[in-house]
């Protein structure tokens, strides 16, 4: 198995993570819904966009530093909220948040995390962000937002595209649960993951820390599964955004926007930013990639709010392409999970370092030394998407 200093790409971490993470959690990360066409399209569409190489320009004193919703960042990349992170590696959310603090970018904690808001706050002094799923139990949501405020989270990320759950075939076939149920298939698979098992034996964090013991009537995993099936709120609509914004009182980001009119609605309802996202290809299949829709959304909102992007960003080159097309930054989910599953906190930090280096070098080869000066000029005309309407 390659040592950490020999890892040179996100793909290297993916290969190691596949060997170290139990099958159900690896496939939870590395899969989409239905035929997975959207999942593949997110990544593949970046490959069609080409850079314009420039030579004999001064490449010294480069900087990727910028801001994301007012927060200083070392590079325009944040870690996206991902459920089950603490099942990819013991205490995973705490380790990933600390890695982000050390590197100087935002970490976003999921409502469906294994480690709780309070756990993550104990692990980092940085103003991590919190992602909110809206449940039918509005009292629980109010308490959850209050806990995020008490933890001094820097922004609230409202996920808008999971009122119902997409058909995720791998999760259904694997019987996804946290921790894994003691079936014969799971036991045989876990026997091949000794380091993962040892880590889980040493931690008390093996269930959904933001929910169990906090939601009414949810005291254990049996309670949790029944509660979750009944609680995702299909009635969530734009009228709820103002209520959430007022309750939160801070920066509000709406995640899951794939339509220009929805992006404008987000602006009209008080959002500070949107994330162009199709949930990593895990919700609606056979829809557009996020990079395909980015120009149309940017044109519609006209700079009235910040626009970020996630989905398929597995390299610094892809992050740079999205930024060049006008995104204020990108969110990464799977790359940090592969780093975490492979090598823990050090793996996340190494993944971030690789993305930074790829973004920095590519920017220099395109004749720019400051990310604030990067625009479509670094891309080859005719190879990148343009507004559709």
Q: Domain limits of the chain? A: 4-378
Residues 249, 66: Cα–Cα separation, whole Å: 24
Q: Just list the catalytic residues.
A: 279
Which helix (H) or strand (E) element contains residue 376?
none
User: What percent of the chain clears pLDDT 90, i.e. is strictly above it?
Assistant: 93
pLDDT band at 1 (very low <50, low <70, confident <90, very high): low
- The reply to whether the predicted model has a pTM over 0.85 is yes
pLDDT for res 146: 98
- Is 311 labeled as ligand-binding? no
Structure tokens at 340: 């975490």
pLDDT tens digits along 148-157: 999 999 999 9
Q: Is 169 exposed, middle or buried (0-12, 13-18, 19+ CB in 10 A)?
A: middle
What contacts 11, CB < 8 A, 6 or more positions away? 314
- Compute the Cα dihedral for 289, 292, 297, 302 and give only its sign: positive
- Is 81 labeled as ligand-binding? yes
- Is 382 labeled as ligand-binding? no
Sheet holding 273-276, edge to edge: 77-79, 329-332, 306-310, 273-276, 252-257, 156-159, 129-132, 108-109
pLDDT tens digits along 174-185: 999 999 999 999
Task: Give φ, ψ of 187 to 5 degrees.
Answer: -60, -45
The answer on pLDDT for 64 being more than 90 is: yes
pLDDT band at 384 (very low <50, low <70, confident <90, very high): very high
pLDDT for res 115: 98
Residues 346, 257: Cα–Cα separation, whole Å: 32
Average pLDDT estimate for 276-302: 97
Residues 272, 255: Cα–Cα separation, whole Å: 11
Strands 71-73 and 66-68: antiparallel
- Count of C-beta atoms within a 10 Å radius of residue 181: 13
Q: How far is CA 67 from the centre of its chain?
A: 18
Write down the mean pLDDT value for the chain: 96
Residues 220, 177: Cα–Cα separation, whole Å: 13
Average pLDDT estimate for 76-86: 98
- Annotate 28-53 with b (16+ C-beta within 10 A) or e (fewer): bbbbbbbebbbbebbbebbeebebee
3-class state of residue 238 by DSSP = helix
- Is 333 labeled as ligand-binding? yes
- Compute the Cα dihedral for 309, 311, 312, 313 and give only its sign: positive
pLDDT tens digits along 362-373: 999 999 999 999
CA angle 303, 306, 312 (to 5 degrees): 120
User: What percent of the chain clears pLDDT 70, i.e. is strictly above it?
Assistant: 100
The CATH number of 4-378, from 3.40.50.720, 1.10.1240.10, 3.20.20.70, 3.90.1150.10, is 3.20.20.70
Average pLDDT estimate for 190-218: 96
Instruction: Look at residues 330, 260, 335 and name the one whose alpha carbon lies nearest to residue 12.
Output: 335
- Is 334 labeled as ligand-binding? yes
pLDDT tens digits along 222-240: 888 889 888 888 999 999 9
- Is 282 labeled as ligand-binding? yes
- Compute the Cα dihedral for 121, 127, 128, 130 and give only its sign: positive
pLDDT for res 223: 87
- Count of C-beta atoms within a 10 Å radius of residue 1: 8
- Is 31 labeled as ligand-binding? no
Instruction: Look at residues 352, 330, 257 and name the one whose alpha carbon lies nearest to residue 78.
Output: 330
Strands 273-276 and 156-159: unpaired
End-to-end CA distance of the chain: 49
Q: Transcribe 257-294 into DSSP letters.
A: E-SHHHHHHHHHTT-SEEEE--GGGTSSSS---HHHHH
């Amino acid at each position: 198995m390659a040592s950490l200093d020999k890892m040179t790409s996100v793909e290297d971490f993916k290969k190691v993570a596949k060997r170290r993470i139990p099958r159900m959690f690896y496939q939870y990360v590395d899969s989409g819904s239905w035929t997975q066409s959207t999942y593949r399209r997110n990544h593949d569409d970046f490959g069609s966009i080409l850079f314009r190489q420039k030579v004999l320009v001064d490449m010294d004193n480069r900087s990727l530093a910028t801001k994301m919703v007012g927060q200083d960042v070392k590079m325009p990349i944040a870690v996206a909220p991902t459920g089950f992170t603490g099942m990819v590696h013991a205490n995973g959310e705490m380790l990933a948040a600390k890695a982000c603090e050390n590197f100087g970018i935002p970490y976003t904690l999921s409502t469906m995390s294994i480690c709780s808001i309070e756990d993550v706050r104990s692990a980092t002094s940085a103003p991590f962000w919190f992602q909110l799923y809206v449940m039918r139990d509005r009292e629980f949501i109010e308490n959850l937002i209050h806990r995020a405020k008490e933890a001094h989270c820097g922004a609230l990320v409202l996920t808008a595209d999971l009122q119902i759950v997409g058909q995720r075939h791998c999760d259904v076939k694997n019987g996804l649960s946290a921790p894994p149920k003691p079936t014969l298939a799971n036991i045989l698979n876990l026997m091949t993951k000794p380091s993962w098992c040892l880590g889980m034996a040493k931690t008390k964090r093996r269930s959904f820390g933001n929910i169990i013991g906090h939601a009414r009537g949810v005291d254990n995993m049996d309670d949790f599964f029944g509660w979750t099936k009944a609680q995702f709120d299909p009635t969530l609509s734009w009228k709820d955004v103002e209520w959430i914004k007022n309750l939160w009182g801070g920066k509000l980001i709406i995640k899951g926007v794939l339509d220009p009119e929805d992006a404008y609605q987000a602006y009209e309802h008080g959002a500070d930013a949107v994330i162009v996202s199709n949930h990593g290809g895990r919700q609606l299949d056979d829809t557009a990639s996020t990079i395909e829709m980015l120009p149309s959304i940017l044109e519609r909102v006209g700079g009235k709010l910040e626009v970020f992007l996630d989905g398929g960003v597995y390299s610094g080159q892809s992050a740079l392409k999205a930024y060049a097309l006008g995104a204020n930054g990108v969110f990464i989910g799977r790359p940090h999970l592969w780093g975490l599953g492979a090598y823990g906190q050090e793996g996340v930090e190494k993944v971030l370092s690789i993305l930074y280096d790829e973004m920095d070098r590519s920017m220099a080869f395109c004749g720019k030394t400051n990310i604030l000066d990067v625009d479509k000029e670094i891309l080859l005309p005719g190879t990148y998407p343009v507004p559709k309407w």
